[in-house]
Structures are given as structure tokens and as C-alpha cells.
């Protein structure tokens, strides 16, 4: 069976995408039978996928069993942002403080994509453990991407500035720029959570 089409992989991809996009109410129950019906699968691969996502930090175990969508709180968001910054710092250290390993950062065709370049920086280290840790925390932060664009009026200009730092062959100023980018979001953690909740309650606000 093609791995991309086996029931577990299908369930995992769909559930992960829904959790990253904030479909489920934080702290709300994820009903295995409902998800299995939506995916036209048995409950077994859905349960297995939710168990994997629980270990990945995108799902929580309920106090009496079952699975819950993760609750949102400012301190957890700050911790995740701080950890992503730590991973990026490790990526910079691995390259001797210069943001390139093979000479050229990937081209970004459709507007500024800081998240894509940050992921590239970590992948360029070749450190599997660092890449795994980064992928986990980055997945937990996907939910806040749209909220950032609404909360920060200068989001596009800020992203363009950060992309320019990545493209500077000397890597000059990239470390401080990444730190400022993350600390701004850490300071705004309560507002980012509020923006996510507002968008869920009122889709027209997006």
C-alpha cells in the first residue's frame, strides 16, 4: 500500500492540518467516531493518529480518557516562541553565525515567507534531533500565523526585513532580527490568543 494513502497516514495528515488551523475549540473534545466518519475510515487509524499527535503536542489527553484540542494560554505560547528561537539560534551556531551552509538561501516566490526560511535554516544544519524538535514547535505555532497578520499592521514590512537578513550573504544582523521578531510576539501573546479566538467565533473577522 502506498504510504501516503494508508489509513493512518491519511488520518494523521488531516487531523494535523485541522489542529494547526484551529478548527477545534481549545480544550474541546475531539470525538473519534465523528472524525472517522468525516474521513470515511475506521476508528482505529483515527485513534492511532490522535495518539501520535498527542505526543507531538497538538492534542491533549482528557482527564477521563479521550482526546482534547490543546488549550491556549499566554505562557505556553511564550515558551513555544522562546523554544523556536532557541532552535534557530542553534542553527546559526552550527553554521558559525552565518545564515548559509551551501551558499544560497532558497528563493521565496510568493511574498515574504519567514517561516519557510526559518525552517530552512534549521534543516541546513543536518541535525536530525534539532530538525525534529523544531518541526514540533513550529507545528504548534502555525495556528497563530494568520493572527499575526491581523494584529501587526506592519507584518509584511517586518517579514520583508527579516527575509532580507536571510538573503544577506554575510548573515549580518540575522540573530538580533530573529530575536526581535520572536520577542515581539512573546510580548503580544495574550493578544495573539485573543485574535485566534475571535477569528474562530466570528469567521468574518478573518
The dihedrals phi and psi of 30, each to the nearest 5 degrees, come to -100, 110
Name the band, by pLDDT with cuts 50, 70 and 90, for residue 166.
confident
Q: Is the pTM of this model over 0.95?
A: no
Of 68, 97, 123, which one is at a domain's C-terminal end? 68
102-137 pLDDT, tens digit each: 444 555 555 568 888 899 889 988 999 999 999 999
Residue 33 lies in a domain: yes
Query: How far is CA 69 from its chain centroid?
Result: 15
Of 24, 43, 68, which one is at a domain's C-terminal end? 68
Residue 96 lies in a domain: yes
The region of weakest confidence among 15-19, 83-87, 93-97, 152-156 is 93-97
Judge whether residue 101 has pLDDT over 60. Answer: no
In terms of residue numbers, what domain contains 34? 3-68
Residues 176, 113 share a domain: yes
**What is the rounded CA–CA span in Å between residue 160 and residue 162?**
5
The region of weakest confidence among 2-6, 45-49, 88-92, 105-109 is 105-109
User: How many domains does one find in the chain?
Assistant: 2
Residues 55, 84 share a domain: no
Residues 189, 175 share a domain: yes
Higher pLDDT pick, 45 / 97 = 45
Residues 115, 44 share a domain: no
Amino acid at each position: 500500500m502506498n504510504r501516503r494513502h494508508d489509513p493512518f497516514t491519511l488520518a494523521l495528515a488531516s487531523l494535523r492540518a485541522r489542529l494547526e488551523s484551529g478548527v477545534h475549540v481549545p480544550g474541546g473534545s475531539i470525538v473519534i467516531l465523528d472524525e472517522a466518519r468525516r474521513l470515511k475510515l475506521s476508528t482505529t487509524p483515527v485513534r492511532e493518529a490522535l495518539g501520535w499527535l498527542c505526543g507531538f503536542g497538538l492534542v491533549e489527553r482528557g482527564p477521563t480518557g479521550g482526546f482534547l484540542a490543546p488549550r491556549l494560554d499566554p505562557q505556553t505560547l511564550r515558551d513555544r516562541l522562546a523554544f523556536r528561537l532557541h532552535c534557530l539560534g542553534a542553527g546559526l551556531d552550527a553554521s558559525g553565525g552565518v545564515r548559509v551552509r551551501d551558499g544560497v538561501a532558497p528563493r521565496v516566490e510568493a511574498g515574504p515567507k519567514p517561516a519557510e526560511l526559518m525552517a530552512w535554516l534549521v534543516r541546513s544544519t543536518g541535525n536530525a534531533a534539532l530538525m525534529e524538535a523544531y518541526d514540533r514547535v513550529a507545528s504548534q505555532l502555525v495556528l497563530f500565523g494568520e493572527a499575526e497578520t491581523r494584529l501587526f499592521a506592519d507584518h509584511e514590512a517586518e517579514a520583508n526585513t527579516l527575509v532580507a537578513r536571510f538573503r544577506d550573504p554575510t548573515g549580518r544582523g540575522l540573530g538580533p532580527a530573529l530575536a526581535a521578531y520572536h520577542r515581539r510576539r512573546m510580548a503580544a501573546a495574550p493578544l495573539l490568543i485573543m485574535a485566534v479566538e475571535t477569528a474562530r467565533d466570528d469567521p468574518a473577522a478573518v
